[in-house]
Amino acid sequence: MYKSILVPIDLAHSDVGQAIIKRASALADNNASITLLHVIGDIPSYAQSYLPEGQLQENLEETTKALKALSDAINVEAQAVVRYGSPSPVILDEAVERGSDLIIIASHHPGIKDYLMGSTASRVVRHADCSVLISR
């Protein structure tokens, strides 16, 4: 059904992430690509100078491993990508860069049932050029 699916995942809620990876797998064409994306909040440049050398790269590698472990645990073939920045613009840019035809995103943090949609999810659904599936 879809050829290039982008799955943004907040690693603070990895159980939610795993549920949306399963949905992506169910909606993927044969030979489709599934990309898992976690966005780490930008670290201000003044703070970066206090970090030990190589720390940012190490964070990136550890986070990529954690992301990949989510899909491996449920036997779904997916690529893990980690970027620094603000979640919604990074998600939108990544979708354009990859030519994604579907973004699957959770509606909000688990447990915040009063809100219709979280801030990242609502920005993505408002501005994406491709289809967006909001997973509740």
Which chain residues interact with ligand ADP by CB under 6 A? Answer: 8-10, 13, 16, 37-39, 87, 105-106, 108-109, 112, 118-121
Closest among 40, 37, 17 to 109, alpha carbons compared: 17
Closest to ligand ADP by CB, 13 or 98? 13
* 8 φ, ψ (degrees, to nearest 5): -75, 135
Closest to ligand ADP by CB, 13 or 49? 13
d(CA 14, CA 55): 23
d(CA 96, CA 100): 7
Give the residue nearest to ligand ADP (CB): 118
Closest to ligand ADP by CB, 49 or 64? 64
Handedness of CA 16, 59, 95, 118 (dihedral sign): positive
The minimum distance between CB 92 and ligand ADP, in angstroms, equals 11
The minimum distance between CB 67 and ligand ADP, in angstroms, equals 9
